[in-house]
Amino acid sequence: MNVLIVYAHPEPESLNGSLKNFSVKRLEKAGHVVQVSDLYAMKWKPTLDADDFPDSNPGARFDPALDSKRAFENGTQPGDIASEQEKLLWADAVILQFPLWWFSVPAILKGWVERVYAYGFGYGVGEHSDVRWGDRYGEGTMAGKRAMLVVTAGGWESHYGPRGVNGPIDDILFPIQHGILYYPGFSVLPPFVIYRAGKTDEARYAKICDALGRRLDDLWNTAPIPFRPQNAGAYAIPELTLRPDIAPGQSGFAAHVA
Amino acid sequence: MNVLIVYAHPEPESLNGSLKNFSVKRLEKAGHVVQVSDLYAMKWKPTLDADDFPDSNPGARFDPALDSKRAFENGTQPGDIASEQEKLLWADAVILQFPLWWFSVPAILKGWVERVYAYGFGYGVGEHSDVRWGDRYGEGTMAGKRAMLVVTAGGWESHYGPRGVNGPIDDILFPIQHGILYYPGFSVLPPFVIYRAGKTDEARYAKICDALGRRLDDLWNTAPIPFRPQNAGAYAIPELTLRPDIAPGQSGFAAHVA
């Protein structure tokens, strides 16, 4: 199978860098083909702006969605964006690996999403009608592919527990797992999270590699998070609210997991 | 009073650009002094990396936290970072204004947080002991200052409702409002959110300005979101989990609001 690792850490000699190298080896040893988008090493341009669309009419108002749509349709996208889209289409599974900075992905990875997820590719896919609202949340360009987060965090596991001060890790990751991965169609596997990343000695590193290695071995048979598909009946359209008989009385992120 | 608007939209002629200009005028008319950090216009560097710390030992491993700490303590930070920190210290209120892209802030604004919130300034402040875990979540450098989000979203309000497919807007914004603003001590006001931003005609624009104008007039007397302070007794230390008598049986983001 083909695996794309999108990796965002500025220091190759970091825990993240070591784990990325470990993952590549482990996957290749199992016979998979691996590509790595090492965003810092690539000096990835993080900002979505008019410079990405030199074919716009001079003086025209820049519209992030419409300019992206035109460039995607006409094949006039910048090469770095088109190349990442190719990798995504090539991949059977995608791993996003990053340190949790301020409760989300590093800016450089956020900018990868904003630029690579063009209109017509990452969103704006499929028809809007009275029975469906675009190919998204379970359908879309990435349907049939798997995705998984590998995340390091400085805080303790309890700080990210159900009643921990930072909020539960599943809720912190929901805008990424549901909003960025499930949205264009990925099946999203449970995340692999390393807490107290700054406190990793050799013994603990070996244990982390063991556990991560098992997750990589099981990439093709781990059950995805059962997010509810948008167009399969659970949601009223166009309101896109859960129908009364689905998760009755529940609200919040967890109601979108079956 | 002094108000800092940190603004992240690539197109000056956008709805966001117009609302930013409206806010500046409204606040100045009320006698406040306003500064705007227009991140796209400033060509803000979004990536936290070793280039920010040229005083590091050559060949040394880059450590985002420790290098930031050293540069902040020694006054060797890049000028753009120090200048934004000065603006934050100057401000009585801070407004972050941005389009919601992929359920979070645009990359350029995320990178503003990552670089400006230095160790010793945005985090790593105060002592850790058996009764307190740093000056954070209600205490810290920004204590006594107010903050508010002004956000545009493409989707419908119902899509962001309690049972909407995107998840409730309060939960989507929690990592920003609680994790980025309350963390270093801001009192966080309820957000001002504009839905279906792409569908704004003149009549609707006038209504939005009316509502936003009232929120700006009330900046000093709107009740903040009652997030629970970390070190005032609600949380066990060092586990940082809510004590059993606080919001008994509740979990998730909402449990951290009194």
Token code pair at residue A215: 């997750």
Does the distance separating the beta carbons of A159 and B239 come in below 8 Å? yes
Does the distance separating the beta carbons of A175 and B167 come in below 8 Å? yes
For residues B158-162, average pLDDT: 98
For residues B57-73, average pLDDT: 93
Which residue from B171, B220, B160, B223 is spatially nearest to B194, judged by alpha carbons? B160
Which residues are paired to A242 by β-bridges?
Answer: A235
CA of B243 vs chain A CAs: smallest distance (Å): 9
For residues A100-110, average pLDDT: 98
Is B2-223 assigned to CATH 3.30.420.40? Answer: no
Residues from chain A that touch B239, judged by Cβ atoms under 8 A, are: 156, 158-159, 164
Is residue B151 pLDDT above 90, yes or no?
A: yes
Residues from chain A that touch B47, judged by Cβ atoms under 8 A, are: 10, 40, 46, 106-108
Residue listed under structure tokens 């099981």: A218
Does the distance separating the beta carbons of A114 and B107 come in below 8 Å? yes
Does the distance separating the beta carbons of A108 and B102 come in below 8 Å? no
Residue listed under structure tokens 């993952």: A23
CA of B251 vs chain A CAs: smallest distance (Å): 5
Does the distance separating the beta carbons of B164 and A239 come in below 8 Å? yes
pLDDT band at B20 (very low <50, low <70, confident <90, very high): very high
Chain A interface includes B38 (CB < 8 A): no
pLDDT band at A174 (very low <50, low <70, confident <90, very high): very high
Residue listed under structure tokens 């990178």: B111
Is residue B58 pLDDT above 90, yes or no?
A: no
Chain A interface includes B233 (CB < 8 A): no
pLDDT band at B50 (very low <50, low <70, confident <90, very high): very high
At residue A56, the pLDDT reads 83
CA of B12 vs chain A CAs: smallest distance (Å): 8
For residues A32-44, average pLDDT: 98
> Average model confidence (pLDDT) for chain A?
97
Q: How far apart are CA A107 and CA A110, in angstroms?
A: 5
Does the distance separating the beta carbons of B104 and A107 come in below 8 Å? no
Does the distance separating the beta carbons of B159 and A166 come in below 8 Å? no
Chain B interface includes A30 (CB < 8 A): no
- pLDDT per position as a tens digit, B77-88: 999 999 999 999
Does the distance separating the beta carbons of A171 and B252 come in below 8 Å? yes
CA of A49 vs chain B CAs: smallest distance (Å): 6
Q: How far apart are CA A248 and CA A234, in angstroms?
A: 11
- pLDDT per position as a tens digit, A214-251: 999 999 999 999 999 999 999 999 999 999 999 999 99
For residues A31-53, average pLDDT: 97
Q: Are B154 and B198 in contact (CB under 8 A)?
A: yes
Chain A interface includes B227 (CB < 8 A): no
Does the ipTM surpass 0.85?
A: yes
Residues from chain A that touch B110, judged by Cβ atoms under 8 A, are: 101-102, 104-107, 110
**Bond prior to B238 in cis (omega within 30° of 0):** yes
Q: How far apart are CA B233 and CA B224, in angstroms?
A: 20
All residues at 6 or more sequence positions from B75 whose CB lies less than 8 Å from its CB, including other chains: B82
The Cβ of residue A41 has, within 10 Å, a number of other Cβ atoms equal to 13
Token code pair at residue B154: 């493409």
Q: Which element (helix H / strand E) includes B193?
A: strand B192-194
At residue B21, the pLDDT reads 98
Chain A residue with CA closest to B242: the answer is: A163
Does the distance separating the beta carbons of A162 and B239 come in below 8 Å? no
- pLDDT per position as a tens digit, B86-100: 999 999 999 999 999
All residues at 6 or more sequence positions from B3 whose CB lies less than 8 Å from its CB, including other chains: B27, B32, B33, B34, B35, B91, B92, B93, B94, B95, B219
pLDDT band at A153 (very low <50, low <70, confident <90, very high): very high
- pLDDT per position as a tens digit, A52-69: 998 888 888 999 999 999
At residue A96, the pLDDT reads 98
| CB within 8 Å of chain B, chain A residues 68-97 | none
Chain B interface includes A41 (CB < 8 A): no
At residue B56, the pLDDT reads 83
Token code pair at residue B184: 């270093």
- pLDDT per position as a tens digit, B104-128: 999 999 999 999 999 999 999 999 8
CA of A93 vs chain B CAs: smallest distance (Å): 21
Q: What is the DSSP string of chain A?
A: -EEEEEE--S-TTSHHHHHHHHHHHHHHHTT-EEEEEETTTTT-----SGGG-TTSPTTPPP-HHHHHHHHHHHT-S-HHHHHHHHHHHH-SEEEEEEE-BTTB--HHHHHHHHHHS-BTTTBS-S-BSSS-BSS-SS-STTTT-EEEEEEE-SS-TGGGSTTBTT--HHHHHHHHIIIIIITTTPEEPPPEEESSTT---HHHHHHHHHHHHHHHHTTTTSPPP-BPPIIIIIB-TTT-BB-TTSSTT--SGGGGB-
pLDDT band at B59 (very low <50, low <70, confident <90, very high): confident
For residues B208-219, average pLDDT: 98
All residues at 6 or more sequence positions from A56 whose CB lies less than 8 Å from its CB, including other chains: A50, A62, A67
- pLDDT per position as a tens digit, A180-211: 999 999 999 999 999 999 889 999 999 999 99
- pLDDT per position as a tens digit, B31-49: 999 999 999 999 999 999 9
CA of A30 vs chain B CAs: smallest distance (Å): 31
At residue A131, the pLDDT reads 85
pLDDT band at A128 (very low <50, low <70, confident <90, very high): confident
Number of cross-chain residue pairs from A and B with Cβ atoms under 8 Å apart? 205
3-state DSSP call for residue B167?
Answer: coil
Does the distance separating the beta carbons of A40 and B47 come in below 8 Å? yes
Domain coordinates in residue numbering, chain A: 2-223
Is residue B55 pLDDT above 90, yes or no?
A: no
At residue B233, the pLDDT reads 95
Does the distance separating the beta carbons of B102 and A180 come in below 8 Å? yes
Out of B50, B105, B155, closest to residue A10 by CB: B50
